[in-house]
Structure 1
Amino acid sequence: MNTVEQHIQDLRNELREHNYNYYILDNATISDYDFDIKLKQLQELEAKHPEFFDANSPTQRVGGEVTKNFETIPHEHRMYSLDNSYSKEDLQDWEMRIKKLVDGDVQYTCELKYDGASISLTYKDGKLVKAVTRGDGFQGDNVTANIKTIKSVPLQLKGDYPPKFDIRGEIVLPFDGFNKMNEERIEIGEEPYRNPRNTASGSLKLQDSAEVAKRPLECLLYNLKGANLEIQTQFESLDKARQWGFKVPKAAKLANSIHEVLEFVAYWDVHRHDLPYETDGVVIKVNNLQQQEELGYTAKAPRWAMAYKFKAEQVSTRLNTITYQVGRTGAITPVANLEPVELAGTTVKRASLHNADQIKKLDIREGDEVYVEKGGEIIPKVLGVDLSKRPIDSEPTCYITQCPECKTELVRQEGEAQHYCPNYNGCNPQIIGRIQHFISRKAMDIDGLGGETVALLVNETLITNYSDLYELTKEQVIPLERMAEKSADNLIQGIEQSKNIPFERVLYALGIRYVGETVAKKLAKHYKSIDAIAVASKEDLVNVDEIGIKIAESVTAFFTSEDNINIINRLKGFGVQLEMSAEQLIGQTDKLKGDIIVVTGVFESISRNELKKLIEDNGGKVSSSISSKTSYIVAGNNMGPSKKEKAEKLNILLINENEFLQKIK
């Protein structure tokens, strides 16, 4: 290494150390002036010697890279949502479920739940290589250039870090920085930002990273993901991340019981107001990572974690009018149109009233002063009425009997909370809603086509159902509002590319009532094609794993409609994937059909997830708990003694991973 290169390297290391001391340890070891002088010196040296360029140099934090379109990329490890709890009883129920599924004592790591924008950072050989937003959990937007400008995100790690891993965290905007930004905006006559969370989230998608660099964002990290990290517990992973140079909040605490968890919750419910960031609750995780693996995931969330939400902020305001919305399934939702009121950092103008029973139960009327809360801090809801302020001439609410859009007589099935408009193919909001669902990211993921454009296409009678999309031409869409030639090309191209979307997602996209992502996967895997599902009886459908009578009735009703069959036939003709592809069918057998198998312990030649996939690919069902219905157990090392005891008591066979692999050969 020559003298210039060595000098550049020494300056980089020194600036990284000062940056770490200031932004991670809150312990400045150099004045801002001296830091800026050294940074300028490094910038000049790098400009003169571009051959020594380093994408992770401290000089790269000033930004300047402009991103016109943020690339959507898949997460290597899915980013799940968390289940929410609101009471001591919720947490006790969760603990009971955990203790049925894992052996031994259970410890919990309690961490504060920061209210910001979720991010996933990927490091290779200690260098930041990728930063991706949460997106839909499966894929997100590549915002690496913007994230590099955040001083508390290390570009080069310290210590004994693994060769490759992901780390998850939250991009937050501290109150002080947020208030300062707003003072500056007011000074120049601009509207102030509404709240720190939305401002932090919006910052990630600014096109000029130099603008992001001006914002005092911070990144708080809390979760490691990767193979062979050689870490045993969540608490240890937080400590390791700190050692590697990440900003990991120190509020985290180990708890030995739900009682200790609740002590942590009670403390922070009061002291959170002293924190420099927005928090909306506590996240409780099973501490032992092997126990986490045993517990696994539901379709949407890990079984080993729970978010405890602090009591939501509540305000009162006037309910001006009640209007009614029609959803894509025809469900009617009553909406309270409110006198605008500030609530949890946003202006609330509307809130859901849920259904006729809720309105009747609370006796909600137009003109009432009502109490409003943000349920789960997201969707405002009306909690009750201040009867002392009710107008004398107040009249009880009469729930509508006709669809507010198409005037069809509403129906309400026995046991259903909501009213429905039965005009499936003639009610515009239902048609628009179904097509919007069809094109959504988790379904057909059609680039260039958004919800507003769908509404325009329907209202202009260019399409009446989702199969019509595949006959659209560029010439038809160019005259639409805000549609330029480039966006028209993107739309038509996006529709064409959607023909490659796999069958299970097409099935979900069809919008069959009660057929969500998980049910669509089960049905696709079991029947392999739309034709097989179309002729399946209710009795046959109920025999499929996790398909109940409600879903079975909905599926058979969908395929008895001549209109739906015609639409599906058209989709077939356009080349949409309505059966499993040859590639997907590779390795799929019925060898384990009817078998219910429990996977437990630590495995050597194969990961637990690979084992579970092999079971499902061969027609078996993976169960998380041992019962008399269990066919056998695939047991690895460190199988819990109580599980072993239960298996012996029920006379259930235990086989090792090699015996299982022989079984499916």
Structure 2
Amino acid sequence: MTSADVDAESNPYLRDPPTDFEDAETLSREEAESQAELLREAIREHDHRYYVEAEPLISDAAYDALFSRLVALEGTFDLDTTNSPTSRVGGEPIEALETVEHVAPMLSIDQSTDAADLREFDERVRREVGDVAYVCEPKFDGLSIEIVYEDGAFVRAATRGDGQRGDDVSAQVKTIPTVPLSLRGDYPDQLAVRGEVYMPKPDFSDLNARRVEAGEDPFANPRNAAAGTLRNLDPSVVADRPLAVFFYDILGSSATPDSQWESLDHLRDWGLRVADRIERVEDVEGAVDYRNRMQDARDDLDYEIDGTVIKVDSRAARDELGTKSRSVRWAFAYKFPARHEVTTIRDIVVQVGRTGRLTPVAILDPVDVGGVTVSRATLHNPDEIDELGVAVDDRVRIKRAGDVIPQVVEVVEDAGGSYDFPDECPVCGSQVDRDGPLAFCSGGLSCPAQREASIGHFAIKGAMDIDGLGEERVSQLVEAGLVETVADLYDLTVSDLTELERWGETSAQNLVDAIESSKVPSLDSFLVGLSIPEVGEATARALAREFGSIDGFPIGEDVSASDFDEFESRLTTVADVGETVARRVRDFFENKNNRAVIRSLLDHGVEPEPVETGGDELAGLTFVVTGSLAVSRSAVSELVESHGGNVTGSVSGNTDYLVIGENPGQSKRDDADENDVPTLTEAEFEELLAEYGVSYPPE
């Protein structure tokens, strides 16, 4: 579909527009609709010329007159304002941010400040797909966003979230001037793009000055200002703040270009703002040079960057390289070194995380580090405190790791004191257990600090998947005394929720329904939701296969020490569970408070589904898959694992077979050769499974 450029001859509001309008009420509805459409068309063009091309055609006063006229016409004749430029002023506050699925996964990028790591990335790329060109882009220090267009019209915007799902911030993003509500040129019918929301540095300074004058706390840095603004539930507040967007990738399209360089050209043609400091280079040394030049120029830019991103240009090569579970294999972030400053530690406090881990934090005399005021820095764990010799009143060197997380690097002036790590949890008073360099509160889910975080984790996708139960809502429920453990979620009623601020009947009923629908999770999702230390999705699946049902775990009120010894011994036989993980899992179930919460969940009607296995036909066999098969990688894993086998992500001496599909990567084949691992085509894989009595492909 095509949106033609605005023609000055057919649209009188493009150049030297008239601004002296007759009263809107004197027009017929047909005349008003016609004039409003011309005004929308012209204002969109003026927005593009001003915000994207930085070449305005008319004065600000003339633009304001056209905009005011459009507002008057839409109001007088009750015209549809969907995706009209007037919708940028922001609508009514919304109750909460809903969660939406992304069109395509928004994966992360491996990163390093070391040029050797970038060259290693280049060597792997060339080993697997041959020589490639790279597109080098600034690594914006903002908030990643997905925006979806259908038939050229803005439909939806969402934050990155967990990469699969994010918060719906459509109402907020529509107010950002650099986001077109209608595409230009020859755009595809369906389009999802990725960009970065940021706050320009000059505008950030002005905003903070206004906040200080108004008696409000200033934002710590432009990224925090952008993130906080975008998640504000009142779009009119967002409209008043100076956000902007750069676009840099196509996530999904009915017509995908053949290269990244082409993609950027298309984004520009469609009216989407692309950074001008982007280059295409022929080799990795060109990428190194680009990063070094950008580091020299970073302070002259009006937006924050913390490095550069190097992307394989060819789309075909990208597809062949593929992705990992959380990151792409065709791009690399070459970061700038962290900036350092010296300040004084005034106190050390200990924070308690979701899994009970205790993290010491240094409270500092505020110091500017790379343009950001830093007053707190992580000390990671008790061993690091001992290794650094850190104590209150010491002068220390601070750096922002990745230009984001402040941490203490070294003591530069010892004040002569020492710091003793607490033996009791600072929140609940429970004994602190040490596990190597780490410290953990033994209070489990009864510890208030762990409680709130564990409730939020319980609801995420991959765990119980309770839509609408985000961090802010969890905090509100805990503060109101409605929820103390995850089991209390199943007691919530609509009337409980509607008595709280920002809850309506609809949102309350939606949450109650979502909680009710979560009562029959898979066993592995249930285990993920319990916040067991060291247990992510992969380990949870392995535990679910091993123990079969929740009754296979020691959850009774009275469980003997010998029972736990047997449990831990069995844990160590599970694939991907070593001694450390086994000990952490045992510790979790040995805590009587944790077992009480699990029993309470079951009493509330939560019934984790037992794992159905097809048998042990493939017991002892480990497979690795590379390339594309007739079915998805997850379907292959589920089939093999349901019959007692294992599917892992990398080839080693423990691998029995490497299954090779279409467009396979070279590295796994090289590893198979090195470890003498037999390789199978998909047809040979099917034949092998048939020999064991397993049908492939799965239905």
TM above 0.5 = yes
1:466–1:650 distance in 2 versus 1, CA, 3 Å: closer
Letter matched to residue 28 of structure 1: P
Greater displacement, 154-163 / 33-42: 33-42
Q: In the alignment, which residue of structure 1 is the partner of 2:635?
A: 614
Work out the CA distance in 2 between the residues paired with 1:318 and 1:571.
47
Work out the CA distance in 2 between the residues paired with 1:24 and 1:426.
53
2:343 is paired with a residue whose SS is strand
Q: How does 1:182-581 map to 2 (within 5 A)?
A: 182-186=208-212, 191-226=217-252, 228-387=254-413, 390-391=414-415, 394-401=416-423, 403-404=425-426, 410-413=432-435, 416-422=436-442, 424=444, 429=449, 434-435=454-455, 437-438=457-458, 443-444=463-464, 445=466, 446=469, 449-451=473-475, 454=478, 457=481, 463=484, 466-467=486-487, 470=490, 496=516, 498-499=518-519, 502-524=522-544, 529-532=549-552, 545-556=575-586, 558-559=588-589, 564-579=594-609
**8 Å Cα contact 2:145-2:194 kept in structure 1:** yes
Letter matched to residue 18 of structure 1: H
Matched, 1:16 2:44: yes
Measured after TM superposition, the shift of residue 572 of structure 1 is: 1.9
Work out the CA distance in 1 between the residues paired with 2:368 and 2:410.
18
Q: In the alignment, which residue of structure 2 is the partner of 1:600?
A: 627
Greater displacement, 220-229 / 487-496: 487-496
**8 Å Cα contact 1:528-1:579 kept in structure 2:** no
Measured after TM superposition, the shift of residue 15 of structure 1 is: 2.8
Work out the CA distance in 2 between the residues paired with 1:598 and 1:449.
41
1:656–1:180 distance in 2 versus 1, CA, 3 Å: farther
Measured after TM superposition, the shift of residue 386 of structure 1 is: 1.8
**8 Å Cα contact 2:189-2:254 kept in structure 1:** no
1:641–1:171 distance in 2 versus 1, CA, 3 Å: closer
1:467–1:360 distance in 2 versus 1, CA, 3 Å: same
Q: In the alignment, which residue of structure 2 is the partner of 1:86?
A: 113
**8 Å Cα contact 1:598-1:626 kept in structure 2:** no
Q: How does 1:132-171 map to 2 (within 5 A)?
A: 132-171=158-197
1:468–1:71 distance in 2 versus 1, CA, 3 Å: closer
What is the RMSD of the two structures over their aligned residues, measured on CA atoms? 4.2
Work out the CA distance in 2 between the residues paired with 1:654 and 1:441.
34
1:252–1:526 distance in 2 versus 1, CA, 3 Å: farther
1:333–1:181 distance in 2 versus 1, CA, 3 Å: closer
**8 Å Cα contact 2:97-2:167 kept in structure 1:** yes
Work out the CA distance in 2 between the residues paired with 1:340 and 1:198.
17
The runs of 5 or more residues in structure 2 that have no matched partner are 1-28, 555-562, 688-694
Q: In the alignment, which residue of structure 2 is the partner of 1:174?
A: 200
1:82 is paired with a residue whose SS is strand
1:579 is paired with a residue whose SS is coil
Q: In the alignment, which residue of structure 1 is the partner of 2:100?
A: 73
Q: In the alignment, which residue of structure 1 is the partner of 2:61?
A: 33
Work out the CA distance in 1 between the residues paired with 2:346 and 2:592.
43
**8 Å Cα contact 2:625-2:649 kept in structure 1:** yes
Measured after TM superposition, the shift of residue 130 of structure 1 is: 0.6
Q: In the alignment, which residue of structure 1 is the partner of 2:83?
A: 56
2:329 is paired with a residue whose SS is coil
Work out the CA distance in 1 between the residues paired with 2:139 and 2:475.
32
**8 Å Cα contact 1:598-1:630 kept in structure 2:** no
**8 Å Cα contact 1:68-1:207 kept in structure 2:** yes
Work out the CA distance in 1 between the residues paired with 2:461 and 2:634.
24
Normalising to structure 2: TM-score of the pair?
0.78
Q: Deviations over 1:357-414 (max 9, x none)?
A: 3223222222111111222233321111222xx44xx23444445555566665434x
The runs of 5 or more residues in structure 1 that have no matched partner are none
Normalising to structure 1: TM-score of the pair?
0.82
Work out the CA distance in 2 between the residues paired with 1:650 and 1:410.
46
1:76–1:401 distance in 2 versus 1, CA, 3 Å: same
1:308 is paired with a residue whose SS is strand
Measured after TM superposition, the shift of residue 437 of structure 1 is: 4.3
